[in-house]
Amino acid sequence: MAGSYIADLASQVAFLVALSVSLNILLGFAGQMSMATAAFYGLGAYTCAVLTSQGASLTGESLFAPQLPFLGGFLGAVVVTFFAGLAVAAPAARRVKGDYLILLTLAFHFLFITVTSTWVDLTGGPNGIMLPPLSLLGFEIKTTDQAFWLAFAWAVIATIICWKIGGSPFGRLLRGIREDEIALHALGKPTVWPKSLTFGITAAIAGATGAVSAAYMQFVAPTTYSLDLAILVAACVALGGAGNILGSVLAAIAIGSLRPILENTGLLSSDTAVPWQTVIYGAILVLGMVFRPAGLLPEGFSFRRRGNYYKSVPGDNVIAMAGHSYIEPSGARRVKTPKPVSEVVVEVRDLTKSFGGLQATRDVSFKLRKGEIVALIGPNGAGKSTIFNQMTGAIRPDRGDVLLRGQSVLGADPVKVAKLGMARYFQHVRILEGMTAIDNVALGVPGQTGEALSRVFLTPSAVAKREREVQAEARKHLKDVGADGYADQIARDLAFGQQKLIAFARLLATGADVLLLDEPTSGVDPRSAQQIIELVRELAASGKTICIVEHSLHVVSELADRIVFMDAGAVVGEGTVEEITGRADLVELYFGT
């Protein structure tokens, strides 16, 4: 194709931009590492080539060749790579994580390279496939300058798609997945399908980019789709800033322009410019990981907000509170007025579970009533956490049942249980550290239109309307727990006590009326602890049903209306704080003989 050198280079940069923004959705937003970028890019290119070529490779072998127009090849590439992405995600989205994901995507890359270089009948083997001159909707593209506009247009479209995804509630869900999947499950958000879909979309955008590039170069061959390309794209995402689409665009333009700049300084020949480009981006990637792991433009970075983005939070410092006393005269303890007996909301029946030979829980039964605070206490290893895990569906009991408003929730997973209105608060908070307080809480809100990706693109106004409601609701919950002052702060930068409050706001956002709290006050300073204790009391007064596991008896005596005492997996006592602490046999169990 005739045309200018600059246009040719600019097209290559445009392809790199499209690949980088699509990988950012998967790697930066959803936190899933993929080494298969080059493979999907190549798969799209080959699909388009096979569908549009004239049926003869360089060596003259006959190929499967339907000779479709370019748009046919393009659509074919999108469909094929989308489903290939889903297929790779199938094991990845369910149980395979981290290193296994790297392994699987790497293996997929090698599989692709092997197949394209050896399945000569279809792919032309090492010689590749020639494509006909590019024509789009009857308009023939003759020069590189014209073709550049196609590449440019595609890069813009890909960027807009990824930008839309990233900024939508679906994108927020993906960032939640990156931060902590278990926390999302406990908020009633499923993660398998969003992850799979993201794999499919990233693959499809890479595949479509491959199709455009194949038509542009009029040639495909296995060597184009090397692992180096996959590394290059990952480098653009990491350097630009994971979770920041604009960062990926800028990084791709900067790194993609390295080679022409190197070539034109006159220092390097075109033979050495490519390896030098690799040396430079490899080195930048290494240095970036050491000195600026969040990338040049970190997630959430905005030029306008820059002034206060990094501002540290005036937190409740433990050291500053050191003078505060923990020991209170026992007379100062809250005198509880007995509450009227209310309806039973949760009934735990005969929960029994053993791991291997170890009996973790044995015939555990108790009831939770509306507006009541029940504390589960007992020595280490008594089985309290195992009970919570069985109640929320994280562990399936061997025997027994859990009834929520009379309905059994046995067999439901944590997502379903949370949706039914029984939500869990974790001991170590499981806050989504890399997200703002308001995003943390917004993720808790159920029934979000924008968490369905199709709605983001098909009914944007309905999504925007619902999102305004979600934001308002999230803000209200933050205000309720007294944390609205730091709504836009990244959770990581907040004090632990503040993080715990945000976790409470998130819990309230789910609308659950049964709250299972695992050590709500551990690890915070006395003032925050007191704040949380007040909050839990208010929640109970407002009609929530509350069960806490707490090791500090001090806190238990402040909060609990009733105590269920467990030892060695079984319930050995039940009653008020006074009744339980007065029993000599329980003293022996708790403090030894």
Partner 1 sequence: MLSAIENNVANQPALLEVQGLSARYGKRAVLSDIDIRLAPGEIVAVLGHNGAGKTTLLHSIMGMHDERSGGIFYHGKDISRRPYYKNASDGISLTPADAPVFRPLSVEANLRLGTYSTSPKDIDDRLEAIYATFPHLKDRRLQLAGTLSGGEQRMLAVSMAVMNKPRVMLLDEPSIGLAPATADMLMSEISLVSKSLGTSVLIVDQNVRGALRVSSRVYFLRMGRIILEEPAEVSAQREHYWDLF
Partner 2 sequence: MPLPTGPFILGETMTQLIQLITFGIVQGLTYALLASSFWIIYSTTRTFHLAHSLTYAIAGYAVYVVSVQLAMPLWIGLLASLLCSALAGCAIEFLLYDKLRKRGSTVLGIFLSSLGVAAAGTALLQLIFGPMVKQVPGFPNATLSMGEVTVTTLQLTGSAAALVTIAALYVLLTFTSIGNAVTAVRTNPRLSMAVGIRVESVSLLVFAIGSAMAGLAAYFETISFVAYPTMGLQPVMFGVIAVFLGGIGSVKGAALGGFVLGFLLVFSGLFLSQNLGVILVFAVLLVIVVFRPDGLVRSPIGR
The pair of three-digit structure tokens given for residue 350, joined into one six-digit string: 């005969």
- The site partner of 530 among partner 2, partner 1, none (C-beta below 5 to 8 Å per kind) is none
Write down the least CB distance from residue 495 to partner 1, Å: 6
Nearest to 150 by CA among 166, 134, 161: 134
- The site partner of 140 among partner 1, partner 2, none (C-beta below 5 to 8 Å per kind) is none
Q: Which is nearer to partner 2, 180 or 518 (CB)?
A: 180
The pair of three-digit structure tokens given for residue 150, joined into one six-digit string: 């196609």
Q: Which is nearer to partner 1, 475 or 551 (CB)?
A: 551
- The site partner of 275 among partner 1, partner 2, none (C-beta below 5 to 8 Å per kind) is partner 2
The pair of three-digit structure tokens given for residue 14, joined into one six-digit string: 């445009």
3-state DSSP assignment of residue 311: coil
The pair of three-digit structure tokens given for residue 279, joined into one six-digit string: 């040396």
Q: Which is nearer to partner 2, 125 or 421 (CB)?
A: 125
- The site partner of 114 among partner 1, partner 2, none (C-beta below 5 to 8 Å per kind) is partner 2
- The site partner of 163 among partner 2, partner 1, none (C-beta below 5 to 8 Å per kind) is none
Q: What is the CA radius of gyration of the chain?
A: 29
Write down the least CB distance from residue 344 to partner 2, Å: 41
Write down the least CB distance from residue 96 to partner 2, Å: 6
Q: Which is nearer to partner 1, 522 or 576 (CB)?
A: 522
Write down the least CB distance from residue 354 to partner 1, Å: 16
- The site partner of 115 among partner 1, partner 2, none (C-beta below 5 to 8 Å per kind) is partner 2
What is the rounded distance in angstroms from the CA atom of residue 384 to the CA atom of residue 395? 13
Write down the least CB distance from residue 552 to partner 1, Å: 5
The pair of three-digit structure tokens given for residue 584, joined into one six-digit string: 């000599």
Consecutive H or E run containing 475:
helix 460-480
The pair of three-digit structure tokens given for residue 534, joined into one six-digit string: 């007040």
Q: Which residues bind partner 2 (CB under 8 A)?
A: 31, 33, 91, 95-96, 98-100, 102-104, 106-108, 110-111, 114-115, 118-119, 227-228, 231-232, 234-235, 238, 271-272, 274-286, 289-290, 293
What is the rounded distance in angstroms from the CA atom of residue 390 to the CA atom of residue 395? 5
State how beta strands 514-518 and 545-549 pair.
parallel
Cβ(521)–Cβ(550) under 8 Å? yes
Q: Spell out where 494-586 has E strands.
A: 514-518, 545-549, 562-567, 570-575
Write down the least CB distance from residue 25 to partner 2, Å: 15
Burial class from Cβ neighbours inside 10 Å (0-12, 13-18, 19+) for residue 1 reads middle
Q: Which is nearer to partner 1, 315 or 511 (CB)?
A: 315
What is the rounded distance in angstroms from the CA atom of residue 519 to the CA atom of residue 556? 10
Write down the least CB distance from residue 388 to partner 1, Å: 15
Q: Which is nearer to partner 1, 132 or 379 (CB)?
A: 379
What is the rounded distance in angstroms from the CA atom of residue 170 to the CA atom of residue 460? 12
What is the rounded distance in angstroms from the CA atom of residue 294 to the CA atom of residue 68? 44
Q: Which is nearer to partner 1, 49 or 495 (CB)?
A: 495
- The site partner of 593 among partner 2, partner 1, none (C-beta below 5 to 8 Å per kind) is partner 1
Nearest to 47 by CA among 84, 73, 16: 73
Q: Which is nearer to partner 2, 4 or 118 (CB)?
A: 118
Q: Which is nearer to partner 2, 104 or 507 (CB)?
A: 104
Write down the least CB distance from residue 227 to partner 2, Å: 6
Write down the least CB distance from residue 278 to partner 2, Å: 4
- The site partner of 33 among partner 1, partner 2, none (C-beta below 5 to 8 Å per kind) is partner 2
Q: Which is nearer to partner 2, 31 or 73 (CB)?
A: 31
Write down the least CB distance from residue 33 to partner 2, Å: 6
Cβ(78)–Cβ(201) under 8 Å? no
Write down the least CB distance from residue 492 to partner 1, Å: 8
Q: Which residues bind partner 1 (CB under 8 A)?
A: 318-319, 322, 326-327, 330, 379-381, 427-428, 492, 494-496, 499, 519, 521-526, 529, 551-554, 557, 581, 587, 590-593
Nearest to 316 by CA among 142, 526, 92, 81: 526
- The site partner of 581 among partner 2, partner 1, none (C-beta below 5 to 8 Å per kind) is partner 1
Cβ(395)–Cβ(389) under 8 Å? yes
- The site partner of 235 among partner 1, partner 2, none (C-beta below 5 to 8 Å per kind) is partner 2
SS3 helix, strand, coil % of the chain, rounded to 5? 55, 15, 30
What is the rounded distance in angstroms from the CA atom of residue 440 to the CA atom of residue 433? 9
User: What's the per-residue H, E or C state across 404-469?
Assistant: ECCEECCCCCHHHHHHCCEEEECCCCCCCCCCEHHHHHHCCCCCCHHHCHHHHHHCHHHHHHHHHH
Ramachandran bin of 266, using left for φ above 0, alpha for ψ from -120 to 50, beta for the remaining angles? left
- The site partner of 355 among partner 2, partner 1, none (C-beta below 5 to 8 Å per kind) is none
Write down the least CB distance from residue 226 to partner 2, Å: 8
- The site partner of 227 among partner 1, partner 2, none (C-beta below 5 to 8 Å per kind) is partner 2
Q: Which is nearer to partner 2, 71 or 90 (CB)?
A: 90
Consecutive H or E run containing 585:
helix 584-591
Write down the least CB distance from residue 258 to partner 2, Å: 12
DSSP letter at 144 equals: H
3-state DSSP assignment of residue 257: helix
- The site partner of 111 among partner 2, partner 1, none (C-beta below 5 to 8 Å per kind) is partner 2
Q: Which is nearer to partner 1, 265 or 593 (CB)?
A: 593
Q: Which is nearer to partner 1, 2 or 584 (CB)?
A: 584
What is the rounded distance in angstroms from the CA atom of residue 560 to the CA atom of residue 578? 11
